């Protein structure tokens, strides 16, 4: 008996039969060239179809050139897209999954570098987040766009697509007609609610006409734009009811958030510590007004127990588990086989998925470096023997020094590929800097999820883990000698250490007082030892300065965060930054921007980064420094130049967990090969 009987049960969406209730919803991958899907995009979705997904909704596909959100948006208006659909549909159908396509127009929302096309919208209302300044659509232009929806639907039908989803959520073009704040028209598309919903209804009707009777046709709607200036749950439910009364719908995909504002955008792909239960109230209001329509619930649904609860309770009929399947394409297959412990869980970091999208680079995943690289990285390795099985003589041997993200990824990959692996860590815990970050609210949930997955995979791979063992240069030589001539090698993953400016003492003169100097890592790990008031000298706007400010302020200290970056939090993904800034504001943290720490002969002061002007020194008993990192590379001089010895992760050059995991996984697979 499966613990997820509803999640794994079949369902029908209009004319389309599904093998289970799990959807990979529309999300941008960057695996698009010249506005057409690439072979990498086919391989990416093929992996999720092979892993058991019932429906894969292709990313936002523009119905008109004016609706291209980014340079990497698929052009559903291009005749060449038919061949791409045919290839993708064939690959997915062969593996039991259905292909839906999201038909899209961004309206005034644009994420593009110059030269940008002119933006269009119901009315000439600028967009706050991306600073687009649109012109108002004429009636003839609206008619042309509606024909674009019809034509795009017809091309999708020719390509063998199974369903079409009209994007009317997140403040994109149809949703810009919904809201009075963005729709100031005085013709038949403006004014009363029926008129404001008319464009979306006519777009859906055009799609139905182009699609014919064999395709499922539905719409994606925000259930709450989660923005004080946007549509609330009641307003969104009224729109859904009006739309359903105006045009037949096979399904409604329910999401949260809006692209046009900082507050609302965070909910498009909500990171921890936002609760997934935030969807419940808006979803219930939406469900209450929808009759005989399949409801797809998505927004932060990554855990199968949560998905099963939504379905079994009748709150939804299908669930979008998109990020969960980015992290583990085989999620559904593993759940069906009773192998839940083997799932590589999404940690909600937003770094490789939506973070890459906003950076204009192809999708990836911190915990699954194969994401977006399915065609080139190779198939995921699985343990060659069950846990506890005796080691096979002659296997490659891999020794990994350092159990942070890079070291653990290398150990897991090498063991899964068949190597005998030893993982050595100087501290008493796994995780390195990620475990430290897990002490703070922003990363606690992410670290808890990842640590569970990693410990399970280390155990499955029968990795020998040795904690509390400091490897010296002499010890490293001995480890290398112990390998002898065996295949494999030694991986140095000793990470990084906080950078401390030369000559900085444990106490400095800060203004008119003496302040104790504490490193940010130490303050996060032992906040009870830090006396307030506190000033945090943050060099780059990354997670360390933000986390230490939050941890200390939550503990009751008066905190000033003096940031030398161009913007507070510029080193983290914008959705996480939005949440950081909200929490720091509630905690009363004082933010001082463009403020760098200067040191000279036991004195410390602050100056303006751009003008050099000496700034007023905040009062502080403790100066917490977050001034970057340097490699912990004391072992490298003894190992440099030796065959089958490599550095991976921060010891090679401090960066993020994403690079550490990717380098670790590649090195582990290479040495085990």
Residue 295 tokens, joined: 């409801």
Residue 439 tokens, joined: 């002490």
End-to-end CA distance of the chain: 38
DSSP lists the bridge partners of residue 497 as 630
CA angle 147–150–151, rounded 5-degree value: 85
Q: Which of 196, 282, 204 is nearest to 236 (CA)?
A: 282
Q: How far out from the chain centre does Cα 4 lie?
A: 25
Q: What are phi and psi of 453, to 5 degrees?
A: -60, -45
Alpha helices in 555-610, H assignment, sequence order: 574-586
Q: Does residue 172 have an active-site annotation?
A: yes
**3-state per-residue secondary structure call for 167-232:** ECCECCHHHHHHCCCCCCCCCCCCCCHHHHHHHHHHHHHHHHHHHCCCCEEEEEEEEECCCCCCCC
Contact (CB, 8 A) for 27 and 346: no
Q: Which of 195, 169, 210 is nearest to 63 (CA)?
A: 210
What DSSP character marks residue 94?
H
State the residue for tokens 């993982």: 423
Per DSSP, the three-state class of 136 is strand
Name the active-site residue from 4, 44, 85, 172.
172
Q: How far apart, in Å, are the Cα atoms of 119 and each of 68, 130, 151?
A: 10, 11, 21
Q: Which residues are identified as catalytic?
A: 172
């Amino acid at each position: 008996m499966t613990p997820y009987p509803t999640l794994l049960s079949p369902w029908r969406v209009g004319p389309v039969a599904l093998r289970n209730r799990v959807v990979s919803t529309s999300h941008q991958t960057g695996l698009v060239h010249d506005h057409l899907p690439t072979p990498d995009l086919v391989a990416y979705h093929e992996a999720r179809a092979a892993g058991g997904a019932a429906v894969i909704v292709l990313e936002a596909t523009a119905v008109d050139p004016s609706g291209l959100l980014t340079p990497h948006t698929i052009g559903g208006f291009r005749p060449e897209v038919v061949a791409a659909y045919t290839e993708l549909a064939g690959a997915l159908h062969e593996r039991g999954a259905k292909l839906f396509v999201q038909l899209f127009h961004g309206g005034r929302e644009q994420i593009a570098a110059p030269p940008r096309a002119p933006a269009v919208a119901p009315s000439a209302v600028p967009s706050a987040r991306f600073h687009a300044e649109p012109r108002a659509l004429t009636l003839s232009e609206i008619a042309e766009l509606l024909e674009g929806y019809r034509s795009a639907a017809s091309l999708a039908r020719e390509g063998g697509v199974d369903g079409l989803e009209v994007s009317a959520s997140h403040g994109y073009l149809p949703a810009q007609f919904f809201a009075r704040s963005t729709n100031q028209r005085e013709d038949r598309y403006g004014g009363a609610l029926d008129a404001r919903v008319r464009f979306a209804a006519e777009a859906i009707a055009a799609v139905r006409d182009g699609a014919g009777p064999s395709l499922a046709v539905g719409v994606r709607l925000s259930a709450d734009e989660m923005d004080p200036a946007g549509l609330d749950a009641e307003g969104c439910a009224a729109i859904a009811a009006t739309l359903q009364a105006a045009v037949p719908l096979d399904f409604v995909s329910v999401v949260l958030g809006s692209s046009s504002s900082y507050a609302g955008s965070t909910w498009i792909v909500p990171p921890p510590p936002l609760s997934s239960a935030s969807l419940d109230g808006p979803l219930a209001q939406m469900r209450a007004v929808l009759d005989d329509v399949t409801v797809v619930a998505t927004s932060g649904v990554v855990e199968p127990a949560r998905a099963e609860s939504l379905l079994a309770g009748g709150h939804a009929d299908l669930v979008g588990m998109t990020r969960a399947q980015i992290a583990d394409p085989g999620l559904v297959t593993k759940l069906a086989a009773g192998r839940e412990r083997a799932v590589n869980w999404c940690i909600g970091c937003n770094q490789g998925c939506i973070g890459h999208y906003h950076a204009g680079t192809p999708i990836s995943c911190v915990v699954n470096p194969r994401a977006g690289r399915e065609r080139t990285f190779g198939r995921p390795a699985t343990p060659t023997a069950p846990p506890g099985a005796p080691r096979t003589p002659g296997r490659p041997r891999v020794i990994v020094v350092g159990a942070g993200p890079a070291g653990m990824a290398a150990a897991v990959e090498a063991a899964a590929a068949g190597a005998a692996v030893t993982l050595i860590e100087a501290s008493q815990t796994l995780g390195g800097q990620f475990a430290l970050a897990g002490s703070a609210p922003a990363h606690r949930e992410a670290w808890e999820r990842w640590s569970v997955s990693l410990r399970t995979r280390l155990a499955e791979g029968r990795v020998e883990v040795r904690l509390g063992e400091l490897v010296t240069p002499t010890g490293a030589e001995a480890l290398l000698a112990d390998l002898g001539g065996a295949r494999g090698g030694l991986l140095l993953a000793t990470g990084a250490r906080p950078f401390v400016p030369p000559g900085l003492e444990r106490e400095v003169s800060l203004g008119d007082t003496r302040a104790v100097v504490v490193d940010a890592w130490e303050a996060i790990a032992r906040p009870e030892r830090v006396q307030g008031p506190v000033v945090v000298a943050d060099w780059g706007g990354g997670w360390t300065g933000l986390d230490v400010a939050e941890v200390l302020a939550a503990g009751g200290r008066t905190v000033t965060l003096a940031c030398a970056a161009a913007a507070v939090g510029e080193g983290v993904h914008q959705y996480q930054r939005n949440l950081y800034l909200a929490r720091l504001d509630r905690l009363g943290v004082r933010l001082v921007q463009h403020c760098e720490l200067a040191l000279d002969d036991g004195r410390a002061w602050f100056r303006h980064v751009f003008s050099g002007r000496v700034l007023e020194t905040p009062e502080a008993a403790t100066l917490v420094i977050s001034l970057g990192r340097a490699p912990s590379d004391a072992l490298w001089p003894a190992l440099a130049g030796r065959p089958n010895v490599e550095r991976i992760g921060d010891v090679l050059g401090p960066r993020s967990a994403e690079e550490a995991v990717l380098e670790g996984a590649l090195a582990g697979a290479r040495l085990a090969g």
